[in-house]
Amino acid sequence: MKFSKLAEYFNQIEEVGSRIEMTKLLSQLFEEASPEEAKVIAYFALGKLAPPYITLQFNFAKKSALKVIAQLLDVTEATVKNRLDSLGDLGSVLAQGEWQAEREDPTVLQIYKNLQNLCETGGAGSQDTKLKQVLDLVKHLAPDSGKYVIRILTGTLRLGFSDMTIIDALSWMLVGNKSERGALEHAYNVCADIGNIAYVAKKDGLEGIKAMHISIGIPIRPSAAERLPTAKDIVEKLGSCVVEPKLDGFRLQIHIDKTHKKPKIEFFSRNLTDMSQMFPDLVAAFEGIPVETMICEGEAIVFDPNTGNFVSFQETVKRKRKHGIDQIVSELPLQVYIFDLLYFNGESYLDKSLKTRRAELRKLFSGFKSDVIKLIEEVPIEEAKQLEDYFNDQIGDGLEGVVVKKPNSHYQPGKRNFNWIKLKRQETGSLEDTIDCVILGYYTGQGKRASFGVGAFLVGVYNKKKDIFETVAKIGTGMKDDEWIELKKKCEAIKVIDKPVQVECAKDLYPDVWVNPEIVCLVRADEITRSPIHAAGKSANELGLALRFPRFMGYRPDKSSNEATTVTELNRLFEDQKIKKK
């Protein structure tokens, strides 16, 4: 397939506002592609070259792209900046320009190879080399092809959908509707590489998709917990259950492969990024576990031996860095508390009960002792009073709550359900839990905040069924002066000219500046209310949901926007409030 054909499809997708039409166009695109092309197209459609667990970075600054376009169009950089301000992204600036060069029409795979080569260019003078490589590439392309190359390079492709829309499109390609979404999503949950899913779907069809299995080194999409407001509600829901402390660290999926001469230990975050290089101390510790292959999950948290307490999430998250690792290892030593087993010595444990998975972990840890790796505590629960007492004990120890689990449940990757239920510390206000919201845009400030350039911001929650973000609150409190400045800086890096297609927002709420829905933040509110203006959960028969007196509590860098609180969760929290008020 020629890259110009891909650019044509991307143009059409940008022009349609309907999710169904987007999905059908994507399915037609996949239909015309070979298996290898389908793999690359799936990455390109999300503005990537690879799945999130493979680190491929262009390291090609926006100012370098600006220089390329200025040279190509034979105009000043100031002219390019002016056009950028009116058009919104450098790809559009390029597409509306004119230049003299012999046109070429490379294939999708040729462009992919060129961009891979760009990622591999490094060392002294690499920015100048990359600038020349990009200029040589785009000057021979048609304007629309060049537009999408530049957008991929600068991280501004943003066609308005996520990996879930690609899953739907592959189902349309295979059977002409969304009926096989379940099989495709399960394969993706077990093997979280959207390009590989597209490749197998094209090459081997549904049989190949249904035969996909766990592969060491490819992360499994994590399971997630639901919420209920009280210990009584949880025990009524689950019956006999088990409870674990809820540690306020960051979740890791650990892959161990000792079938080669040198053991391979990999750590993946909850949003599937590879963090292995950040934790040399953990690599050394996990090399000692007596297994051939294993995938397990744990919570990594910094323990302060001087106080005998765990430190806050804000301190623990400092361990997630790319530079100065040796120093931070000694300053903030991590402990990992293992809480689940997904794969063990060549066998999947996803379909085994939690009781069986836990028994295997206990057996493993009975012969393995470590100051760094520990098996998390688990306590059986029969009555609500037991759970309430255990919960209060954990709060008294400074933890944020507990996670309660169904002993006979299977591990369901990529799913949020009542197999796991979290119960968290209640803070001021009647809303029991915080909400993970996605920042959608901001409003320019007045008075003192005019100097910051931002005085409030708009947030939304994720509607998984529609693959869109729906507004839930306008926030103007809970932040210090330096935090407003930081927010503006974060937003400026991802601002867009028009409302993103995957955002649903009433016109009365339109912010002064839209941003791409990428930043996840933690929001506390007094309660959830019905709203005539907010879009979250709105239908023909129901008003939307909104947060009353929302307050900014911090960022969630460990979560992607699609992992934010969902509309379904918000509805459930709204119903829980009614129970509590009775």
- Contact indicator for 361, 308 with CB cutoff of 8 Å: no
**CB distance 49 to 119 below 8 Å:** yes
End-to-end Cα separation, the chain, in angstroms? 62
Q: Which amino acid makes up residue 231?
A: A
Going edge to edge, which strands form the sheet with 224-227? 224-227, 416-424, 401-405, 241-246, 379-381
The CA angle 265-402-521, to the nearest 5 degrees, is 75
Residue at 20: amino acid letter: I
- 254 vs 220: CA distance, rounded Å: 10
**Residue 242 belongs to what H/E stretch?**
strand 241-246
Catalytic residue among 67, 147, 202, 246: 246
108-120 and 3-15 helices, crossing angle to 10°: 90
Kindly list the distances between the CA atom of residue 420 and the CA atoms of 242, 245, 268, 336, in Å, as whole numbers in the listed order: 10, 13, 21, 20
3-class DSSP assignment, residue 239: coil
246 catalytic, yes or no? yes
Strands 264-269 and 250-257: antiparallel
For residue 534, what are the CA distances in angstroms to 80, 472, 567? 37, 6, 12
| The 3-state secondary structure of 194-218, one letter per residue | HHHHHHHHHHHHHHHHHCCCCCCCC
Cα(303)–Cα(291) distance, rounded to whole angstroms? Answer: 26
Asked whether 528 and 548 are in contact (CB, 8 A), the reply is yes
Total residues found in the chain within this entry: 582
The C-alpha atoms of residue 452 and residue 184 are separated, in whole angstroms, by 46
Could you tell me which of 90, 71, 70 has the C-alpha nearest to residue 152? 90
- How far is Cα 169 from Cα 197, in angstroms, rounded to an integer? 12
**Chain centroid offset of residue 344 CA:** 26
Which residues are marked as active site?
A: 246
